[in-house]
Structure 1
Amino acid sequence: MASRYWVVALPVQQTSSATSLWNTLQDSISKHSFDTPLYRFNIPNLRIGTLDSLLALSDDLVKSNSFIEGVCSKIRRQIEELERASGALSSSLTVDGVPVDSYLTRFVWDEAKYPTMSPLRETVDGVHTQVAKIEDDLKVRVAEYNNVRSQLNAINRKQAGSLAVRDLSNLVKPEDIIVSEHLTTLLAVVSKFSQRDWLASYETLTTYVVPRSSKKLYEDNEYSLYTVTLFSRDADNFRNKARERGFQIRDFEYNPETQESRKQELERLMQDQEAFKASLLQWCYTSYGEVFSSWMHFTAVRVFAESILRYGLPPSFLSVVLAPSVKSEKKVRSILESLCDSSNSTYWKTEDEGSVGVFGGDTDAHPYVSFSINLV
């Protein structure tokens, strides 16, 4: 699949016809740029209105196109991000089950959705409104997904940080803690370089420490987690003495109900994240197709309006889609220009005949109507 296409409209001369111009273009492309795919881009006869209305519409089409193309890109990037997060293989983007490149190269105007007798302004505004609604929906759905993901990431950070800051609830078992009328168990975070010092000194930091009560529960790259059992009345004094020696006593209270609640919350958030991700991905696939379809109808309106302004009335032009390679662009531009038979051809030339502007910005660089469609 090509990543960039040109949508071009060539003027049909009074002594010729769209069919003969199409045949001539096919022959020229096959002889001089045989690696360039070429397709008809069928645009129905749309309601023209007045010249003033076309001129006013033409100014707005550039801005609207940038907006629509931007929404298309946002949805595509969101799909790519979700697929990377899932580790899933990328699925091809489609419009009503048809790959987007095929939809473009075999474009058929949807009369039911966009009646050709409607004013062009009404059609354009309808497309813009629909795409704006999809963009708003995208923002809401992404915000919901990111909110759940942020909550889950916050929990994971607490569980993955160093022992000095991480949640200790999943590291401590009921049997590690002694809580009675007179005794309590504290949790000490000890630097890995100070473990020998801790084991040698914890029993004598205060008077009422249970001998040989310290046990290592866990260690990471920086710290080790130890228990120590002592009389409850001596706990505050022990904390102060431990701090003076560089040992951190973590506040911790083992509560089975709290532990179970945290576990259930984590499981719920994981399930919610997967559900939001799957729902958002499916929505993005569907919405991308809707936006792309709207974009192609919008493009057809642009080509039609620009061709009327460029070539005059009655409408007499041939619209096509091409996908030249980079090395073939200059040759294809030359072929297209030669078929314009325009006295203004020299005026329309640019310093770099092979250059192509962005969609909506390259029409004035050539003696024919030309827009670019970027699919990636």
Structure 2
Amino acid sequence: MASRYWVVSLPVQNSASILWNNLQDQISKHSFDTPLYRFNIPNLRVGTLDSLLALSDDLLKSNTFIEGVSHKIRRQIEELERVSGLETNALTVDGVPVDSYLTRFVWDEAKYPTMSPLREIVDGIHTQVAKIEDDLKVRVAEYNNVRGQLNAINRKQSGSLAVRDLSNLVKPEDIITSEHLVTLLAVVPKYSQKDWLSSYETLTTYVVPRSSKKLYEDNEYALYTVTLFGRVADNFRTSARERGFQVRDFEYSPEAQESRKQELEKLVQDQDMLRSSLLQWCYASYGEVFSSWMHFCAVRVFAESILRYGLPPSFLACVLSPSVKGEKKVRSILEGLCDSAN
């Protein structure tokens, strides 16, 4: 729904059809590129003037809330479609494009009986939209929770060697663990590798000569193994740290590695399932909220027309979509028709 629309009300002096013809004639002569449609509002229950005045105070606030929820759902749809790599779908209300729903608006008597008090209709719409907003918050929070867990795992696997998970970089044959020997993993600054290779054997006693092997290198660091006697491991860590080398705590466990792999796969599946479910829910809920919003607009136009033009209800409601350049001219046409009616 890229177009901007005005929903307007004009006072009827003699005949709504004559006023409609005059409006069409003026628009076609002076602003021919402005789409114009009737906005069909049924005869709603007026109630008392006091009740209309009290209702009018809440209409603007409720309109802002309902419009805000519709925009919130639309933005969520745009984000989900972008993340999913989907083409942007035209938003619909009961299968009808939103522009067509607005320009061909028909009051839903079954959902909003016209004999109901206006306050009851407005409160019902507000409650329904508020429930949808609460549901949206719960669903988005659930999706974001899984996405956050997945992002945290991905950061661990794609960060620098100083912080990332090392389990997918180390193979069983890289690690020696016996009664006396252990293999440590050292993170060496990329430009200090020569220093490491020339000094690691002397950082402490009982280091196995030529036991260091490079396993991986990123933009900042290189990952090396070193084998030594277990009883001097703490001394080696201290000496390495003093030379600017970081010895990472690591225990090779095929079971833990498989568990992490399964956890990652499950999170990916959960994220895809929740994203798809949330997107479908947003499509349906956007249509529901937009429909509610249009019914609310009809009530607002009806109530404010009576307060402005008086009783009995005698006004012409219509929808226009002027261009930015044509807004001033269209506004002048509408004001002229109001002046002639008065």
Question: Take 1:221 and 1:101, find their aligned partners in 2: how far apart are those partners?
Answer: 52
1:319 to 292, 300, 317: 317
Which residue of 1 is the match for residue 284 of structure 2? 286
Structure 1 runs of 4+ off > 6 angstroms? none
TM-fit CA distance, 1:343? 8.4
Q: Does 1:5 align with 2:5?
A: yes
| 1:351-373: CA deviation from partner (whole Å, max 9, x where unpaired) | xxxxxxxxxxxxxxxxxxxxxxx
Task: Give, as a single letter, the amino acid of the residue that structure 1 aligns with 2:7.
Answer: V
Question: Take 2:50 and 2:123, find their aligned partners in 1: how far apart are those partners?
Answer: 17
Which residue of 2 is the match for residue 157 of structure 1? 155
2:133 to 129, 132, 135: 135
Which residue of 1 is the match for residue 219 of structure 2? 221
| 1:19-63: CA deviation from partner (whole Å, max 9, x where unpaired) | 111111111111111000000000000000000000000001011
Question: Take 1:148 and 1:342, find their aligned partners in 2: how far apart are those partners?
Answer: 62
- 5+ unaligned residues in a row in structure 2: which ranges? none
Which residue of 1 is the match for residue 182 of structure 2? 184
Which residue of 2 is the match for residue 201 of structure 1? 199
SS in 2 for 1:327: coil
Contact 1:186 1:249 in 2 (8 A): yes
TM-fit CA distance, 1:220? 0.6
Question: Take 1:238 and 1:60, find their aligned partners in 2: how far apart are those partners?
Answer: 73
Which residue of 1 is the match for residue 237 of structure 2? 239
1:334 to 315, 329, 332: 332
Cα 1:200–1:173, aligned 2, differ >3 Å: closer, same or farther? same
Which residue of 2 is the match for residue 173 of structure 1? 171
SS in 1 for 2:136: helix
Task: Give, as a single letter, the amino acid of the residue that structure 1 aligns with 2:336.
Answer: S
Question: Take 1:206 and 1:63, find their aligned partners in 2: how far apart are those partners?
Answer: 74
TM-fit CA distance, 1:341? 2.9
Q: TM-score, normalised by structure 1?
A: 0.89
Contact 1:185 1:230 in 2 (8 A): yes
Question: Take 1:307 and 1:343, find their aligned partners in 2: how far apart are those partners?
Answer: 14
Contact 2:156 2:165 in 1 (8 A): yes
Which residue of 2 is the match for residue 352 of structure 1? none
Question: Take 2:79 and 2:63, find their aligned partners in 1: how far apart are those partners?
Answer: 24
SS in 2 for 1:339: helix
Which residue of 2 is the match for residue 365 of structure 1? none
Question: Take 2:209 and 2:88, find their aligned partners in 1: how far apart are those partners?
Answer: 61
* Count of paired positions: 342
| 1:300-343: CA deviation from partner (whole Å, max 9, x where unpaired) | 00000011111111111110000000111111111111111358
| 1:97-135: CA deviation from partner (whole Å, max 9, x where unpaired) | 001010000000000000000000000000000000000
Contact 2:73 2:286 in 1 (8 A): yes
| Identical aligned residues as a percent | 85
Question: Take 1:118 and 1:303, find their aligned partners in 2: how far apart are those partners?
Answer: 17
TM-fit CA distance, 1:232? 1.3
Task: Give, as a single letter, the amino acid of the residue that structure 1 aligns with 2:31.
Answer: S
SS in 1 for 2:205: coil
- 5+ unaligned residues in a row in structure 1: which ranges? 345-376
Question: Take 2:339 and 2:195, find their aligned partners in 1: how far apart are those partners?
Answer: 93
TM-fit CA distance, 1:247? 1.0
SS in 1 for 2:183: strand
Contact 1:2 1:323 in 2 (8 A): no
Structure 1 vs Structure 2 CA RMSD:
1.1
| 1:56-109: CA deviation from partner (whole Å, max 9, x where unpaired) | 000010110010001011101111111111121110110000010100000000
